[in-house]
Amino acid sequence: MNNIEITKQKEYIEKVKEINKNKKLNYYILTMGCQLNENDSEKLCGMLEEMGYNKCEDMKQADLVLFNTCCVRENAEDKLFGKIGEVKKIKEDKGVILAIGGCMMQEEHIVEKLNKSYPFYDIIFGTHTLHKFPEDLYNAICENKKIEDVINIDGEIYEGLPIKREDNIKASVTIMYGCNNFCTYCIVPYVRGRERSRKPEDILNEIRNLAEKGYKEITLLGQNVNSYKGREDYGFDKLLEDVCKIDGIEIVRFVSPHPKDFTDDVIDVIAKNKKISRVLHLPLQSGSSNVLKAMNRKYTKEQYLELVKKIKTKIPDVVFSTDIIVGFPGEKEEDFEETLDVVKKVKFEQVFMFIYSRRVGTRADKMENQIPEEIKHKRFDKLKELVEKQTIENNEKYIGTIQKILVEGESKNNNKMLTGRTSTNKVVVFEGNKELINNVINIKIVENCLWYLKGKIS
Ligand code: 5AD
Ligand code: SF4
C-alpha cells in the first residue's frame, strides 16, 4: 500500500516535471511552527525541486507560494492571513499558485474561513496528505481545479519521498508522528492524530545515509519521542542506542520527551553515550501541581523535580531546557509562584516561554476561569526577567572551560568569526579558519555575551 502510493506520487512528480520543462519556475516557502513542521517542509521542498521548481527568497518572484502552517498558538493564524493577503496582490499582478498545508488546515473553522474570505487559494492539504502534494499540484495545474485535500484519519507513514535538507551538517529525522497525550491546552493531538512510530530500520538507514553524506549531528523528532515504539521490544532507549552506534554521527539530540515517560532505560543510555547532547529538553509547562492536573500532564511539581534530580545524579554534566506556559485557565498567583520556584531550582539553560493561547476544540478552551490578558502578560514579563537574570549567571560557569564544538559555519553577525554550539546548545563564537567548518574542535570559553559565549581555539 505504502509503496504503491509512493510509486504513484513519483509518477505525478514526473508528470509535473514534464509540464514545467524549460520553464525556469520558482517557489517560495514559509514554514511556521516547530521542528517537525520544518522537517515536513524539507520534504515538500524535495518534491518541488524534483518537479522543476527552484527555491527563491522573495515571494514576488515566485510561481508557486507554499505556506506550511502551525496552529499551536494564535499568533500563527494572524500571520498566515496577513501573508495570504500579500499573495492576493501577486495573483492579481502576475498569477501564482497558492498552496497552504499543515496543521492549521486540519481545523474546520480555518478551512471555512479560507473558503469564505480567501477563496483564491489553489490547494489546501492537511497533515495526513502531505505525501500527496505532487498529485494535488498536478490536478490543480492540469484540471484547473481548486483542491481541498484534508482528511481526518491518521495518515500512514510514507517512506522514500524526496527530501531537500536545509543544512549539510545537521539533520532532523522524524521518528514518530502524532500524540496521544491530550494535554488540555494543546491542539496537536487533534491535528496530527494518534501516535505512529516509524520502523527502526527506516530511521537507522536514513541516518546511515546522512552520515555517509557527511552529516555529523542528528536531531530525532516527535511530539513525544519517549513514547516511540518501533516494535513490541524496541522503544526509544534502543533507538537512541542504535543511533549512537552509527559511525560519523557525533552529536545526537532529541525533542521533545514527556517527563511522565522518561524511563530509567533512557536515562542509562544517555549516561553511557557521550554522543548524546548534555542539554535535555524537559517540558515543564507549569510548576504548580494543581495547574499540571488541569493541564492533564500526569505529573506533579514534586515528581518533576524528582526526575530532574534522578537524571542529574546519573548524568552529572547534564543541563535542562524547558517549555513553560503562563496564564493557563485558573492559574492563581501562588500557582505562578510555584512555576518561578521550579525555574529557580532547576536553573534551566534555556526556557521557551509562552502565553497561554485558547485553541478551539481543546478542553482548556471550554474552562470558565480564563485569565485576563494583562495578568498573563505581567506574569510572562516576570518570568522573562527571572530567566534572563539566570542566563547571565549561568553563562559565567562556562568561562575558562574547554568545550567540544561542531563548527557550523560563519557567524551570522560577523563573517570573520566562526560559530558552533556547546553540547548544552549554547552558541559559541570564535576566530578561526573556514576550513574548520564541519569539524569538531576544542574551544576555550573566554567571554559571556548573554545570548552567546566568546571562545578561543585551544
Ligand atoms: N498556548 C500556549 N502555549 C502552548 N503550547 C502548546 N499549546 C499551547 C497553547 N495553547 C506550548 C507548550 C508546548 C510548546 C511546543 O508550545 O509549551 O510544549
Ligand atoms: Fe501537545 Fe501534550 Fe502532545 Fe506535547 S504531549 S503535543 S503538549 S498534547
Residue-wise pLDDT tens digits, 305-339 = 999 999 999 999 999 999 999 999 999 999 999 99
Domain match, 447 and 306 both: no
Is residue 158 one of the residues assigned to a domain?
Answer: no
How far out from the chain centre does Cα 454 lie? 27
* CATH code of residue 63: 3.40.50.12160
Domain match, 335 and 420 both: no
Q: Whole-angstrom Cα distance, residue 386 to residue 306?
A: 22
Region 365-386: mean pLDDT is: 98
Whether 96 has a pLDDT exceeding 80, the answer reads yes
Buried b (16+ CB within 10 A) or exposed e, 18-30: eebeeeebbbbbe
Domain match, 250 and 387 both: yes
* CATH code of residue 265: 3.80.30.20
Give the pairing of strands 279-281 and 319-326: parallel
Question: Which residue's CA is the nearest one to ligand 2's atom 2?
Answer: 183
Is residue 113 one of the residues assigned to a domain?
Answer: yes
Is residue 163 one of the residues assigned to a domain?
Answer: no
Domain match, 389 and 410 both: no
Looking at the CA of residue 285, tell me the nearest atom of ligand 2.
7
Which one of 71, 73, 182, 221 would you pick to mutate in the ligand 1 pocket, going by the greatest count of ligand atoms within 8 A of its CB?
73
Whether 34 has a pLDDT exceeding 70, the answer reads yes
Ligand 1, residues at Cβ distance < 6 Å = 72-73, 185-186, 283, 285, 323, 325, 354, 356-357, 359
Report the pLDDT value the prediction gives residue 1, as an integer from 0 to 100: 56
Looking at the CA of residue 258, tell me the nearest atom of ligand 2.
5
Give the predicted TM-score (pTM) of the model.
0.93
Question: Mean of the per-residue pLDDT values for the chain?
Answer: 95
Domain match, 295 and 353 both: yes
Domain match, 216 and 177 both: yes
Domain match, 378 and 429 both: no
Domain match, 411 and 392 both: no
Domain match, 291 and 364 both: yes
Q: Whole-angstrom Cα distance, residue 140 to residue 147?
A: 6
Is residue 238 one of the residues assigned to a domain?
Answer: yes
Into how many domains does the chain fold? 3
Reported as a single tens digit per residue, the pLDDT across 174-205 is 999 999 999 999 999 999 999 999 999 999 99
Domain match, 189 and 269 both: yes
Looking at the CA of residue 187, tell me the nearest atom of ligand 1.
7
Domain match, 406 and 391 both: no
Reported as a single tens digit per residue, the pLDDT across 45-80 is 999 999 999 999 999 999 999 999 999 998 888 899
Is residue 165 one of the residues assigned to a domain?
Answer: no
Is residue 59 one of the residues assigned to a domain?
Answer: yes
Reported as a single tens digit per residue, the pLDDT across 209-227 is 999 999 999 999 999 999 9
Domain that holds residue 439: 402-457
Quick check: CB of 189 below 6 Å from ligand 2?
Answer: yes
Report the pLDDT value the prediction gives residue 221, as an integer from 0 to 100: 97
Quick check: CB of 36 below 6 Å from ligand 2?
Answer: no
Cell numbers standing for residue 410: 560563519
Nearest Cα to 52, choosing from 82, 90, 70, 26? 26
Reported as a single tens digit per residue, the pLDDT across 410-428 is 998 888 899 999 988 899 9
Share of the chain above pLDDT 90, in %: 90
Domain match, 389 and 453 both: no
